[in-house]
């Protein structure tokens, strides 16, 4: 099985980015995202 991971710099609205790329690539996340995954990083 091929596993792909990525780090995206400069994305402030993670939920919106995930929604966009899932639709663009016809992809379904392997796990449900939780609030911690969608929070903005602290400076």
Token pair 């690539």 is at which residue? 25
The whole-number pLDDT of residue 24 equals: 92
The string of pLDDT tens digits covering residues 1-43 is: 777 777 777 878 878 888 888 899 898 877 777 666 666 656 5
**Euclidean distance between CA atoms 30 and 9, whole angstroms:** 22
DSSP of 14-43 = HHHHHHHHHHHHT---SS---HHHHSPPP-
Token pair 């379904």 is at which residue? 28
């Amino acid at each position: 099985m091929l596993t792909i991971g990525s780090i995206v710099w400069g994305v402030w609205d993670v939920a919106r980015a995930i929604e966009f790329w899932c639709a663009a690539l016809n992809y379904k996340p392997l796990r449900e995202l939780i609030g911690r995954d969608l929070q903005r990083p602290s400076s």
